[in-house]
Structure 1
Amino acid sequence: MILAALALAAAAQVTPPAPVPETEEGRAAACQATVRRSPQEALAVANRWQAAGGGLLARQCVGLAYAALEQWTNAATIYEQAAQEAQRASDSRAPDFWVQAGNAWLAGGDPARALLALDTALSLQGITPELQGEVHLDRARAFVAQGDPARARENLDRALELVPRDPMVWYLSAALALRQDDIARARTDIARARQMAANDPDVMLLAGTIAGRAGDMAEAERLYRQVADRFPDSDAGRAAAASLQTARDVETPAPH
């Protein structure tokens, strides 16, 4: 019936008004769908919703729209406001909002503000072990950004204890080990990541890089070629293709 009504409206060159979901959860779902389609439109919708008395879900959608537009400071600020509002209301979503704020600060290049938000999330009662693990992962990323690999390692090891089934933790642990020239640990940890996310192009790319650093150039080339062939339009695919081209340039002697 809805499709028929839309077709009739289109035939009559009349644009029907968008239905307004009756529940806050329905409005949130609709707003998030709009974020995926048009972040700028979603921002306008979410701001109107918030101005009309929308609560935490309205703030969250404003933050999602800002994040989709890569306006990280605005996104982080909105998430922090939502987190503070949730804390005042003893709402169990407060830790999640602090984590979202921390990730927005980190994406915006401010690891110090990210750590403040993430530490606040960890301090709250009711934070689940799973979310604690994700917070430690994000804290590790912030410490890497600050040039503090030792504290990054402490947080990654804690994350591995809390969320051992998250391939991203093993991936980041392998990447950090590679930065610290701990090739043995890098190989062990990337192998765990590949067990859980065998077809992830970033995991495959890092596995190739680690294989190359370990001296296994054949395996490195094999993995790079897989990433370049299967994911040519991804950042990982482009990086793999560039590495393969560099290797070919090195092997091909310049004409005299």
Structure 2
Amino acid sequence: MSIVAALIVPLALAQSAAAPTGAIGERFAQCLALIEENPVRAYEEGMAWAGEAQSVHAYRCAAMALIAQNRFDEGARRLQSLASAVNPENTGLRAELWSQAGNAWLLGREPGQARSNFTRAITAVGNDPGQLPDLLIDRARAYAMERDWRPAEEDLSRALDIRPNDPLALRLRAASRMNQRSYELAEADARAAIRIEPGNEENTLVLGDIRESIRTGTPFERN
């Protein structure tokens, strides 16, 4: 997955009413496409657009262009600032920006910062079943990066209560349970993920890790 793709998540948020439309939407899409080709130029174009129109989406594209240059800290902080500046009534856009900031912090291996941003996004969307599962999954990824397995499992279970057949949530919960030595539950999750998504090798790898953990009695750690 490219850096741009990683930041245009969760999909439910990207397709929400917060997504830009019309001429702004077209220009934003062009700016995102340019990030893939030339992130330095995309940053310059985004800032020029921001100077012209003061559009939040122009500043957002510029922030994403920074992240595509591996300037994760700068880009994430800009996205956070944008989210805080957006009208509080525009919960969809605020949640989207905080989610993108959280993913940027994950790319920068800063799970504490990521978790904080995902929590803000979760608070913004409330109990919206279309948006909440992806945000819970992302926050679980931050917890897992911190090796805080219990809250990771709790977020994933909550996501699965809303969207039961999510193979990513099942796979991640399997890993979280394995690391808590709940091997039978972990194996059940991994097998469920394989049934739903048999072509994904990551599901099979997690099942193999769990079986190795059962064999040795110690959670398997992949290098």
TM bucket by the smaller chain?
Answer: 0.7 to 0.9
The higher relative CO (CA closer than 8 Å, separation ≥ 6) is in 2
Task: Give the partner amino acid of 1:99.
Answer: S
1:190 aligned partner:
190
Q: 1:23 to 1:148 in 2, by over 3 A?
A: same
Q: For residue 157 of structure 2, give the secondary structure of its aligned residue in structure 1.
A: helix
The size of the alignment, in residue pairs, is 196
Q: For residue 130 of structure 1, give the secondary structure of its aligned residue in structure 2.
A: coil
Task: Give the partner amino acid of 1:100.
Answer: Q
- In structure 2, what is the Cα distance between the partners aligned to 1:40 and 1:107? 18
Answer whether contact 2:95 2:121 (CA < 8 A) is retained: yes
Deviation at 1:212, TM superposition (A): 3.6
Task: Give the partner amino acid of 1:189.
Answer: D
Answer whether contact 1:134 1:163 (CA < 8 A) is retained: no
Answer whether contact 2:150 2:176 (CA < 8 A) is retained: no
1:160 aligned partner:
160
Task: Give the partner amino acid of 1:171.
Answer: R
Task: Give the partner amino acid of 1:93.
Answer: L
Correspondences of 1:4-83 after superposition (within 5 Å) = 23-83=23-83
- In structure 2, what is the Cα distance between the partners aligned to 1:74 and 1:105? 10
TM-score w.r.t. length of structure 2: 0.77
Answer whether contact 1:118 1:135 (CA < 8 A) is retained: yes
Structure ID, larger Rg:
1
1:18 aligned partner:
none
- In structure 1, what is the Cα distance between the partners aligned to 2:46 and 2:39? 10
- In structure 2, what is the Cα distance between the partners aligned to 1:200 and 1:62? 34
1:124 aligned partner:
124
Residues 96-105 or 202-211, more deviating: 202-211
Deviation at 1:27, TM superposition (A): 0.7
Task: Give the partner amino acid of 1:157.
Answer: S
Identity %: 27
Deviation at 1:76, TM superposition (A): 1.0
CA RMSD of aligned residues (A): 2.4
Deviation at 1:142, TM superposition (A): 2.2
Q: For residue 87 of structure 1, give the secondary structure of its aligned residue in structure 2.
A: coil
Q: Structure 2: which 5+ residue stretches go unaligned?
A: 1-21, 216-221
